[in-house]
Amino acid sequence: AFGIETFGAITSFPFGDYHYTDRFGPMLGVVPLTIPLAWHVVVTNALFIVRAVAPHASRPAEAALAGLLCTIYDFILEPFATTVKHYWIWTEGSIPPINYVAWFVLSGLLVRLFAPTLSSRHRLDPRPVLILCLTILIFVAGEF
């Protein structure tokens, strides 16, 4: 996620032309350190929701559904993050539609490439606690 965001902030691909401010935590190069944690929280929670609602979905369907949930989350988050909190700034002043296409494709790919296999769906999973802790860390780090 850090690599994707660094590449995106430098090249304007695949999300569109934007730059981060220092309002979402300390920067490493052109990206706040909290951004990869945010990606992890959003993508992993989307995967947990998909697995809870559709536990027998195929892996491609699971990735597509998680990608859709991540895109919906980003659609809701973007105005708050850019207009209210100013975590990042879109150069053209508005959110380009390609941003949402990129969110769908990249989050779906992350799920498809890095999510555990189907056999892990019904095991007791400690990751929700990790997700909760990472979410809290993101908001605390974002305030500084």
Bridge partners for 32 per DSSP: 27
Give 2-35 pLDDT, tens digit per residue: 999 999 999 999 999 999 999 989 999 999 999 9
Place of tokens 């305030």: 143
Q: Which residue has the higher pLDDT, 134 or 21?
A: 21
pLDDT for position 122: 56
**76: pLDDT strictly greater than 90:** no
DSSP 40-93: HHHHHHHHHHHHHH-TT--HHHHHHHHHHHHHHHHHHHHHIIIIIS-SEEETTS
* Residue 83, CB-side half-sphere exposure with 13 Å CA sphere: 9
Give 27-75 pLDDT, tens digit per residue: 999 999 999 988 988 898 888 888 888 888 899 999 999 999 999 989 8
Model pTM score: 0.82
**119: pLDDT strictly greater than 60:** no
- Pairing state between β 18-20 and 88-90: antiparallel
